[in-house]
Amino acid sequence: MPSASLTWLWVMPPATMPTAPLRDDLLCSFAILDTRGRIHVDFELEEPVETDATKFDLLAPTVVRPRRALAAGAPQPAPDELLPDQMTPEVGIVRQFPFSSSSQRMSVICRTLGRRHMDLYCKGAPEKVEGLCRPESGESESLPAESVPADFHTVLHQYTVKGYRVLALAYRRLDAKLHWHQAQRLKRDQVECDMEMTGLLVMQNSLKPQTTPVIETLQRASVRSVMVTGDNLLTAVSVARECGMIPPEAAAVVVTAHPPTGERPAYLEYTTAAADVAPVHSADDEVFVPLWTGAGSYRLAVTGRSWRVLQQHFPHLMARIVVQGTVFARMAPEQKAQLVETLQDQGYTVGMCGDGANDCEALKAAHVGISLSEAEASVAAPFTSKVADITCVPTVMREGRCALTTSFGTFQYMALYSLVQFVSVLLLYKHYSNLGDLQFLYIDLVITTSVAVLMGYTAPAPRLHRRRPAGSLLGAGTLCSILTQMGLAAGAQLAAMYLLERQPWFQPVPPTGASRDVTVVCWENTVVFFVSSYQYLILATAFSKGPPFRRPFYTNRLFLGALLLLSALQTTLVLWPEPHLVSWFGLAPPRPEDRTLRYSLLAVTAGHCVLALSLEKFVFGAEWFKRVTRPCGCKKGPKNRYKLVLREVEADPTWPPLGQKVPAEDAPS
């Protein structure tokens, strides 16, 4: 490979594959890890067959060979009789150094058919592989000078800025005296050095068609999206722009943290990403002018190396970095977890999507982890998607918000169920009566249990809304709702008792004196039982809230059926009391002159229903109520730290100091 120009290639068929060592590097360093890559280059991987008798002390190597050997019918000469260019590119893999996130590369030691020496082939992150290759000018006269071309960074920049994923390929010829047993004992640092750069493998990092619509859905719901990846920074910035994480009008500002060296302290450098720099042509040369000069919106981009320096020398800036950062590239697994924890420290509720073993720590640290693979990542994540894309994220959020709203509604209903029953018993005690045993059983088991269980079956809303559900049981909306609904229920029962006492035929229960006996079968008991039984159904409907987090309650067929059935049964008891049911429930026997009272009780119940539903819909569930009650609370400012950080940044016109080098002592705190 000439030193003046860097070779780049697309995966191609064997007929057009370049000659060794670049071809062998592609086959051994890349194809054995990616099944699709083997199909594209039309090579096959043949692994030794292990049986119970041969799986111990197995010396047969894995072999990579073309699917089509020499032409059919042609004579097959012995390997020793072939010239190097005539040999079938059949490569045996002697040892593999697997990929690790810390090394950002993988290597294999191979031996090609017909050769008497072994070779090392390496693939990995270009900046890592570059550091393991010989520089342009060889330091030793015994080593060839050609290794890393002078235009390496230029060519790499050309493809990464366009969003391509780029891997560097390198090669090293090992000593002919190295044999198989020695190769098994070698450490990777002993052989992954003084390599020769053989080329770049350029792959199109195309987005899945579902990605951009999902990102747009999250943005409409005011959900912040952050990319954390192990890829190149410029590639990540390009992909972030393509999917909409970085808006077209926003600039991508790269924060580069340099560690201290000698007498120079650590410092920060803020520059625009290459995609935000436009070439201006002149008669002499080409000048690059930044498209963004510090005004308007921007997004920060950080690499894993800078993240490490920021943690050590600029911890006071970490809040600003994570609050305004959108792209975090070349991040190690532990750094991904640190990013999640730092976001949580700022008050964010963090959800993490990942599909590899490198994401396990972050998936476990996040509030909600979603594995897009059923392999290693699924062990650390509570949710696993069977579809390998992020379409599940809005679904999980809609289900979560629906579940939270259902939990709060169920809590409010169960709290008011107890309070309403307490008011009923207290009112009846005042009139020397009480609810009967069967009435208690009917209220507790038939009404309350049925609606409390079924109200949770309401499905989530079809779309993700930008509003957030209540996050505290002690919030103003929740407490005001409970107290107001309790007052309405008590008022309805008092109104029913008032209507009863105004009836000319009504005779109250006589005082029992010192006796503790109470009268169950009486009109006071009947009226309170009638009204309170309706109230449990009304409150279940009021707290079974619909949009924006759940579908309307009437879409829950089981819940709606239970409401209609129980309401029909209760109405039958009120208007058309059947003697057996009256006797069974311990109600007062019907009278010819009590029809007016029965219809009046239905009117009181209907009024209570309208008021209860209206309050939950238009008052306690409205945004204006939240704004009105906010000053009444003890909260003087934003509860979450990230909101305070955003205020600080908005009030600081010098942030970020684009084009400046800021030492640690001068960085804003």
Give pLDDT tens digits for 306-317: 999 999 999 999
DSSP for residue 180: H
Tell me the C-alpha distance between 666 and 662, whole Å: 6
**Confidence class of residue 287 from pLDDT cuts 50, 70 and 90?**
very low
Q: 8-68+83-203 has which CATH code? A: 3.40.1110
**Confidence class of residue 633 from pLDDT cuts 50, 70 and 90?**
low
Q: What was the pLDDT predicted at 33?
A: 42
Q: Is pLDDT of 7 > 80?
A: no
- Provide the token pair at 414: 């169960």
Q: What was the pLDDT predicted at 207?
A: 86
Residues 20-39 have pLDDT tens digits of: 555 555 555 544 344 344 43
Residues 58-105 have pLDDT tens digits of: 566 788 777 654 444 445 555 555 445 555 668 888 888 888 777 888
Is 420 within 8 Å of 539 (Cβ atoms)? yes
Nearest to 477 by CA among 397, 543, 538, 420: 543
Q: 211-348+657-666 has which CATH code? A: 3.40.50
Q: Is pLDDT of 513 > 90?
A: no
CB atoms within 10 A of CB 637: 7
- Average pLDDT, rounded, for the chain: 83
Nearest to 149 by CA among 164, 165, 137: 137
Q: What was the pLDDT predicted at 422?
A: 96
Q: Is pLDDT of 141 > 50?
A: no
**Confidence class of residue 322 from pLDDT cuts 50, 70 and 90?**
very high
Q: Is pLDDT of 611 > 70?
A: yes
The arithmetic mean of pLDDT across residues 607-623, rounded, is 92
DSSP for residue 231: S
Q: Is pLDDT of 43 > 80?
A: no
Q: Is pLDDT of 451 > 50?
A: yes
What type of residue sits at position 251? A
- Provide the token pair at 446: 């038939």
What type of residue sits at position 255? V
Q: What was the pLDDT predicted at 264?
A: 87
Strand order in the sheet with 227-228: 227-228, 325-329, 298-303, 251-258, 267-272, 661-663
The arithmetic mean of pLDDT across residues 188-197, rounded, is 88
Q: What was the pLDDT predicted at 215?
A: 95
**Confidence class of residue 53 from pLDDT cuts 50, 70 and 90?**
low
> What does the H/E/C string look like for 392-460?
HHHHHHHHHHHHHHHHHHHHHHHHHHHHHHHHHHHHHHHCCECCCHHHHHHHHHHHHHHHHHHHHHCCE
Q: Is pLDDT of 250 > 60?
A: yes
Domain with CATH 3.40.50 in the chain: 211-348+657-666
**Neighbouring C-alpha atoms within 13 Å toward the C-beta of 264:** 9
Q: Is pLDDT of 395 > 80?
A: yes
CB atoms within 10 A of CB 142: 5
Domain with CATH 3.40.1110 in the chain: 8-68+83-203
The arithmetic mean of pLDDT across residues 400-428, rounded, is 95
- Topology of domain 396-630 in CATH is Calcium-transporting ATPase, transmembrane domain (1.20.1110)
Burial class, 19, CB count within 10 angstroms (exposed 0-12 / middle 13-18 / buried 19+): exposed
**Confidence class of residue 623 from pLDDT cuts 50, 70 and 90?**
confident
pTM score: 0.79
Percentages (nearest 5) of helix, strand, coil residues in the chain: 45, 15, 35
- Provide the token pair at 332: 């190690």
The arithmetic mean of pLDDT across residues 220-230, rounded, is 93
- Phi, psi of 556, deg, nearest 5: -85, 95
**Confidence class of residue 282 from pLDDT cuts 50, 70 and 90?**
very low
Peptide bond into 48 cis (omega under 30): no
Percent of the chain with pLDDT over 70: 80
Top pLDDT among 163 and 287 is at 163
Domain with CATH 1.20.1110.10 in the chain: 396-630
Tell me the C-alpha distance between 145 and 151, whole Å: 15
Residues 515-525 have pLDDT tens digits of: 567 788 999 99
Q: What DSSP assignment string belongs to 294-344? A: S-S-EEEEEEHHHHHHHHHH-GGGHHHHHHHEEEEES--HHHHHHHHHHHH
Is 12 within 8 Å of 41 (Cβ atoms)? yes
Is 500 within 8 Å of 430 (Cβ atoms)? no
